Amino acid sequence: MFIQTEATPNPATLKFLPGQTVLDAGTADFPTAEAAVKSPLAQRIFDVSGVTGVFFGNDFVTVTKADSIDWDHIKPAILGAVMEHYQSGAPVMNEAGPDAASGHAATEAGEDEEVVGQIKELLDTRVRPAVAQDGGDITFHGFERGVVYLHMQGACAGCPSSTLTLKMGIENLLRHYIPEVTEVRPVLA
Give the model confidence (pLDDT) of 67-120 as tens digits: 999 999 999 999 999 999 999 999 999 865 444 445 665 555 566 888 888 998
CA atoms within 13 A on the CB side of 139: 19
Residue 63 has pLDDT above 60, yes or no: yes
Residue 91, classed as helix, strand or coil, is coil
Please provide the average confidence, as pLDDT, over all residues in the chain.
Answer: 86
Give the model confidence (pLDDT) of 151-182 as tens digits: 888 877 777 777 777 778 888 889 999 999 99
pTM: 0.76
The C-alpha atoms of residue 7 and residue 13 are separated, in whole angstroms, by 7
Domains contained in the chain, CATH given:
4-88 (3.30.1370.70), 113-187 (3.30.300.130)
The C-alpha atoms of residue 37 and residue 94 are separated, in whole angstroms, by 8
Give the model confidence (pLDDT) of 104-114 as tens digits: 655 555 668 88
